[in-house]
Amino acid sequence: MRKPKIVVLGAGYGGLMTVTRLQKQLSHDEADIVLINKNDYHYETTWLHEASAGTLHHDRVRYDISEVINRSKVNFVQATVEDIKTEEKKVFTSEGEVEYDYLVIALGAVSETFGIKGLHEHAFMIANINSARQIREHIEYQFATYKNEEEKKDERLTIIVGGAGFTGIEFLGELGNRVPELCKEYDVDPKKVRIVCVEAAPMILPGFDPELVKYARAKLEKKGIEFSIGTPLKEAKADSVIISKGEDEVEEIKAGTIVWAAGVRGNPVIEKAGIENMRARVKVEKDLRAPGHDNIFIIGDCSLMINEEIDRPYPPTAQIAMQQGEVCANNIISLLKGNDEGLTAFTPDIKGTVCSLGEDDAIGLVYGKKLMGTKASFMKKVVDNRALHMIGGTSLVFKKGKFKFF
């Protein structure tokens, strides 16, 4: 008798959670499990701002997939997913076709540039290990070049960060700590360095508690970071950005480095596959299945769920993706057992949100309690270690966890 085949696309937080839960609960003869991922490693998307700034080496931000999957139960295929043909129940990858009975789409988000001119060409995105590494090296190269060029171009040492949301602010926090190190490493006068955050919205960290936001901004400004708020970025050029300062007024800021951290959209494979979507995200059913597709689950960045309390979508976070992975695994097992009626409805359980401001500082709301400074920073590391623990257990926490608490 042919075993049912479960194919999981993506080894991010959601995908790995699904696979580790499936391998724990299913025996060899109950199903074939296939995990498809572009790299042979998982990376911590929520730590990429550190690798990008250079405050944490990228090898500390990733681990081998083989460390957390049970090879005797899970067949890992390293390949890039290119398309899905839902009628044929097939996934098309860079390494060939894979058939499925049940499909879990746990592919990651891509940067959203909102059609802003020049961004795709001239801005770096904090998207994955490769791009984070390039940002780090680009900034270091700007410092090294500045020090060696005959006619000093001060603008080389200006870094523009587009976006004052979660990623933008966390990246700024790291840069604030990193710049003094860079100045020492390259013998550069710290007064020559400028870091400017450009945000279209009228505030930073929209949705966060105002008291915490005030604390964050003050701490970042103390590190020398400038904020240009309520001023949309209009265009990125090779060596500058143009920002709107009012009706007809614009300002050009020369900059050696432009990093865009202002938005993400779902994975383009969703659009290619023809599944109904909004910006490549699918408004999933309560049981996490794609509407009209009984055998396709969508979790993580490509899933869209409305928080009915505020009538806005939940943000794509690691916390929700992992919770979805658990429910998704359980629901697939129910289906395998023919229990179509017993699928669990997913409800996010938001334990809290902590926004880092560098290794030693943070703000957060945890179980309804406001935190800032070292307490919040401690909690951030607990959250980071918890994600490692949920996927890879204690041994992974010891290997890749964050323990420099003070």
Residue 78 touching a copy of itself (CB under 8 A): no
| Binding to a copy of itself, residues 116-145 (CB under 8 A) | 129-131, 133-134, 136-138, 140-141, 143-145
Cβ distance to a copy of itself smaller for residue 138 or 153: 138
Can you tell me the distance from the alpha carbon of 230 to that of 261, in angstroms, rounded to the nearest whole number? 16
Minimum distance between the CB of residue 79 and a copy of itself, rounded to whole angstroms?
16
- In angstroms, what is the minimal distance from the CB of 58 to a copy of itself? 9
Q: Is 43 left (phi over 0), alpha (psi -120 to 50) or beta?
A: beta
Give min distance, CB of 78 to a copy of itself, in A.
Answer: 12
CB atoms within 10 A of CB 183: 17
Residue list 171-190, contact with a copy of itself (CB under 8 A): 186-187
Binding test (CB under 8 A) with a copy of itself, winner from 147, 223, 254, 272: 147
Least CB distance to a copy of itself at residue 125 (A): 10
Report the residue number, 41 or 314, with the smaller CB distance to a copy of itself: 41
Closer residue to a copy of itself, CB minimum distance, 89 or 138? 138
Q: Which of 168, 142, 161, 180 is nearest to 356 (CA)?
A: 168
User: Residue 99: phi, psi to the nearest 5?
Assistant: -90, 155
How many helices (H) and strands (E) would you count in the chain? 9, 27
Phi and psi at residue 67, to the nearest 5°: -75, -20
The H-or-E segment that residue 13 falls in is helix 13-25
Q: How far is the CB of 147 from a copy of itself (least distance, A)?
A: 5
Going across the sheet that includes 102-105, the strands are 74-78, 32-37, 5-9, 102-105, 296-298
Q: By rule CB under 8 A, what count of residues binds a copy of itself?
A: 17
Beta carbons of 194 and 226 less than 8 angstroms apart? yes
Do residues 198 and 161 lie in contact, with contact meaning Cβ atoms separated by under 8 Å? yes
The one catalytic residue in 170, 199, 285, 326 is 170
Can 82 be counted among the known catalytic residues?
A: no
Nearer to a copy of itself, 116 or 188 (CB): 188
Would you state the structure tokens that stand for residue 368, as one six-digit string?
Answer: 């309804």
Cβ neighbours around 282 below 10 Å, total: 24
Kindly tell me which of 218 and 238 has the beta carbon lying closer to a copy of itself.
Answer: 238
Catalytic residues, by residue number, are 170
Could you list the residues that contact a copy of itself (CB under 8 A)? 129-131, 133-134, 136-138, 140-141, 143-145, 147-148, 186-187
